[in-house]
Amino acid sequence: MNINGLNKFFLITEKLKSIKRKGWEIKSTAEDIESVADHSYAATAIAMIISDLEEMNTEKVMKMMLIHDLPEAIIGDLVPGENPNKDTEEDEAINNILRNLPDKIQKQYFEIWNEFKEKTSKESLLVHEIDKLELIFQLSLYKDEMSKEAFNEFLESSEKMINADINKKLLRKILE
């Protein structure tokens, strides 16, 4: 086992705690902007419960949820349309991050990453959906700290990604 590699991996993940979610910084007046790590934790907690309720592979869902934001430790949080090279940069970043792990784990996490990117499983579709659902939960907390236009922009871009019945019910509850 390569302790130096593990140490480097863990230090990279620590960076997510200090990277603020850029969309909130741009569109809200909130002083306490959530970090990427805040988002990842909340999204993983939501995904764990929804995955169990939907009888999916919860371990895979949780790993995928945690892995999907890892590149942001290197490239930062990007808003949609900000960087036309985002996919390439994310792939390079995930390669640089995961290469610090033992080969067996590295291979497994690359497979999970590719499954997420390609949306090839029900688990990957759920992770994409929960990523947006968590954004809407956070949006409801920032509602009074942004313009109605900004609120609607976030809501409209995210709610169309919500398809599972339970997530639609949660969405309606959030918006009450």
Distances from the Cα of 150 to the Cα of 31, 83, 84, 139, 155, angstroms: 16, 20, 23, 10, 9
Distances from the Cα of 109 to the Cα of 11, 68, 82, 85, 158, angstroms: 18, 10, 26, 22, 26
Q: What is the pLDDT of residue 165?
A: 93
CA 58 to chain centre: 16
Which residue(s) pair with 35 in the sheet? 20
Q: What is the pLDDT along the chain (176 residues), one digit of tens a residue?
A: 699 999 999 999 999 999 999 989 888 898 899 999 999 999 999 999 999 999 999 999 999 999 999 999 999 988 777 777 888 999 999 999 999 999 999 999 999 999 999 999 999 999 999 999 999 999 999 999 989 998 888 888 898 899 999 999 998 999 88
**CATH code of the domain containing 54:** 1.10.3210.10
Contacts of 136 (CB under 8 A, 6+ apart): 154, 155, 158, 159, 162, 171, 174, 175
Q: What is the pLDDT of residue 134?
A: 96
> One-letter amino acid identity for 73?
A
Q: What is the pLDDT of residue 72?
A: 96
Q: What is the pLDDT of residue 137?
A: 94
Q: What is the pLDDT of residue 65?
A: 98
Q: What is the pLDDT of residue 176?
A: 84
**By residue range, what is the domain housing residue 54?**
3-174
Number of domains in the chain: 1
